[in-house]
Structure 1
Amino acid sequence: MISSMSIGSDDRLIALLVLLLIPTVLGWGKEGHYVVCKITQEYLSEDALFAVKQLLPDSAHGDLAALCSWPDEIRFHYHWSSASHYADTPDFLCNYQYYRDCHDSYGRKHRCVTGAIHNYTMQLKLAYADASSKFNYNLTEALLFLSHFVGDVHQPLHVGFTGDLGGNSITVRWYRRKTNLHHVWDNMIIESALKMFYGSDLSTMIQAIQRNITDIWSNDVSIWEHCAHNYTTCLDWYASESVSLACKFAYRNATPGSTLKDEYFLSRLPIVEKRLAQGGVRLAAILNRIFTSKTGIAQA
């Protein structure tokens, strides 16, 4: 059995899950993270699926997607984690550089979404590679943080501009509702798609995205999964894609005070759905590379 070094008792976890009811703008909304992790579970190897289920608390019933929003919901308890959800970039440069951009608001290096993904990837990888050693890691939390942050880095405005806080300070209207641009990409495009195209059924949306993965994106999946130099993750690649999409799609025609309606929604929805698919496929690829069949905590 995996030594999960878990979040704590199931009672503590249940108490924390109550916070799922609290709105958040820190990442893809609850629906987005659920989609990413549901897709992930379809692409896990047998070894990775076994390891993931061993790390999950009993209350998750073996479903990673059930807890993929957890890092958003505990941000009030884990204040240090806030900077790990994003990596803002200089305004209008439309590119990402780790050593320039990965820092928190105080300038402390490596505190950003790509730094967090690297951190939790290494925690899981080291523990799995050497089950006989004792590490001071909470591996359940590492899995949940990794799963969540891989989703976050695929949301274009989580690698948005520093000057507008990734779109958080750009006030717009989504049809008749006043909101901000970041929230549009976190939640409202997905919410509108569910109502307009999927009968308000998230499982129907997930099935549609999965069909696209096996159909129109089938030739791209191996490219999404691949990391050069046998790396476990391709952090700069994921982040660079996001800021490029932010410039081309998120910020375009979304100036402060503007009203975003059908034209914006219908042209941006395919971007959102593809990023959810890429996040899910890539998270699975990362976990598959971490939890190989050689040795590890799955046998400990």
Structure 2
Amino acid sequence: MKNIWIICILFLSLVLASWGFKGHRAVATIAQHHLTSNTAYVVSAYLNGQGMADVSTWADENRNQTTAPWHFLNLPPGLSHEAFAKAVAGSDNNVYNAILKAEAELKDNSLGNEQKNEALKYLIHLVGDAHQPMHISRKEDKGGNTIQVRFDNKGTNLHSLWDSKLIDHEGLSEADIAKNYDTATPAEIKQWQNDSPMEWIWESYQISSELYANVNPGQDIDEAYYQKYIPVIRKRIDQAGIRLAGELNKLFNNAQAPKITAQTPAATAVDLKDAAKFTGKTITVSGKIYSVKDIGSMVLANMGAAYPNQLLTLAIKGDAKAAATGLEGKTITVTGQVIDYKGKPEIIVADPGQLKF
């Protein structure tokens, strides 16, 4: 009986995977583009050089009997905002609590790097889950998994339709999805990042309530449905990415990167024009510094061309900042880990030894 229960839990965890591979990677990529420089550096350190997109599905791939419920929230239909908030506050072991738990662990200075690594991977994934409408839905149909429909001449279900089928119908590559969905205005970014996780899941609950009202078992999902709801999916993924960035910036914008005791990986010598291909890797690269800007907390030096056409930015801070004097016009060699900052490759230089003139 116990083995049957474990199998059922694992099966449920598979059918409740949200946004699919492309969607979760898009959320993480959008978030990566909206991190501050210091946040991007700290996040990269906690992830041991892995990119956010690369770990975005880790929480689905490592589900177990304990963590499976962290990915969704079951609530009865027809709740008012007040009743909804009360029901969420009175529940536990769901996506809302798991997000709060992950953030609390990332703030806890008593935890080690390995625990922070896991908490960060959960947060990256679960913020995406909270924005998938069918993850804030009804228990009786397993989040729409038992509501069978047809789409693109194939059988599927309401949950899977929203996980990936509507996204796949667009025919966009993973890179194009992240680029085309990342459209928030400055005003939207400010508003979305001011909203609490309770509001994120309330929005999903409202959407899933509409979806339930407008679907019939066996329904043939047509092009009109797709055209109506693909903008909703685009917005939810964009909101998830923007809000994930907001949460990470709150956590890490003023934080120090963890000290990694493991052996520093050997640097790979690369051509400057290829620096962007090595995000998360430690490289050695040479090039001319075309422009330099002191912003107080650090000096930004643009290699390969002047801003905004630089091939690589060096964020020189701490003990290394004094070495930035007179850099403009010089050809230098730098060694360090490449991070993605707003779609551009960057290396944080905190040790003068990273620079050679």
Is TM more than 0.5 here?
A: yes
TM-score for both structures, normalised by structure 1: 0.76
Specify the code of the residue in structure 2 equivalent to 1:191: D
Q: What is the CA deviation profile of residues 165-197 of structure 1, one whole-angstrom value per residue up to 9, with x for unaligned ones?
A: 21111111113111110010011111111x2xx
Are the counterparts in 1 of residues 71 and 126 from structure 2 also a CA contact under 8 Å? Answer: yes
Whether 1:207 and 2:179 are equivalent positions in the alignment is yes
Are the counterparts in 1 of residues 35 and 248 from structure 2 also a CA contact under 8 Å? Answer: yes
Whether 1:84 and 2:70 are equivalent positions in the alignment is yes
Distance 2:111 2:153 in 1: 55
Are the counterparts in 1 of residues 73 and 95 from structure 2 also a CA contact under 8 Å? Answer: yes
**Greater fraction helix:** 1
Distance 1:182 1:94 in 2: 23
3-state SS of paired residue (2:123) = helix
3-state SS of paired residue (2:198) = helix
Identify unmatched segments of 5+ residues in structure 2.
Answer: 1-12, 261-357
Identity %: 28
Distance 1:183 1:42 in 2: 28
Are the counterparts in 2 of residues 97 and 236 from structure 1 also a CA contact under 8 Å? Answer: no
Number of residue-to-residue matches in the alignment: 247
Distance 1:102 1:113 in 2: 12
Distance 1:168 1:138 in 2: 33
Query: Given the alignment, which residue of 150, 163, 171 partners 2:127?
Result: 150
The equivalent of 1:49 in structure 2 is: 40
Are the counterparts in 2 of residues 36 and 276 from structure 1 also a CA contact under 8 Å? Answer: yes
Are the counterparts in 2 of residues 125 and 291 from structure 1 also a CA contact under 8 Å? Answer: no
3-state SS of paired residue (1:44) = coil
Q: What is the CA deviation profile of residues 47-85 of structure 1, one whole-angstrom value per residue up to 9, with x for unaligned ones?
A: 211111001134x2xx1111101111111xx32111000
3-state SS of paired residue (1:187) = helix
The equivalent of 1:69 in structure 2 is: 57
Specify the code of the residue in structure 2 equivalent to 1:162: K
3-state SS of paired residue (1:219) = helix
Are the counterparts in 1 of residues 105 and 111 from structure 2 also a CA contact under 8 Å? Answer: no
Distance 1:23 1:260 in 2: 23
The equivalent of 2:168 in structure 1 is: 191
Distance 2:231 2:249 in 1: 27
The equivalent of 1:124 in structure 2 is: 106
Distance 1:37 1:65 in 2: 5
The equivalent of 1:270 in structure 2 is: 231
Q: What is the CA deviation profile of residues 129-150 of structure 1, one whole-angstrom value per residue up to 9, with x for unaligned ones?
A: xxxx456971111001011000
3-state SS of paired residue (1:147) = helix
Q: What is the CA deviation profile of residues 176-227 of structure 1, one whole-angstrom value per residue up to 9, with x for unaligned ones?
A: 111110010011111111x2xx3xx1211221122x22xxx44311100114
Distance 1:208 1:148 in 2: 20
Specify the code of the residue in structure 2 equivalent to 1:208: N
The equivalent of 2:324 in structure 1 is: none
3-state SS of paired residue (2:140) = coil
Specify the code of the residue in structure 1 equivalent to 2:116: L
Aligned-residue Cα RMSD (Å) equals 2.3
Larger Rg: 2
In the TM superposition, 1:213-232 aligns within 5 A as 213=184, 217-227=185-195
In the TM superposition, 1:32-47 aligns within 5 A as 32-47=23-38
Change in Cα spacing, 1:205 to 1:136, as seen in structure 2 (3 Å) is closer
Specify the code of the residue in structure 1 equivalent to 2:168: E
Higher RCO (CA-CA < 8 Å; seq separation 6+):
1
3-state SS of paired residue (1:251) = helix
**Greater fraction strand:** 2
Specify the code of the residue in structure 2 equivalent to 1:259: D
The equivalent of 2:17 in structure 1 is: 26
Are the counterparts in 1 of residues 72 and 130 from structure 2 also a CA contact under 8 Å? Answer: yes
The equivalent of 1:282 in structure 2 is: 243
Are the counterparts in 1 of residues 150 and 218 from structure 2 also a CA contact under 8 Å? Answer: yes
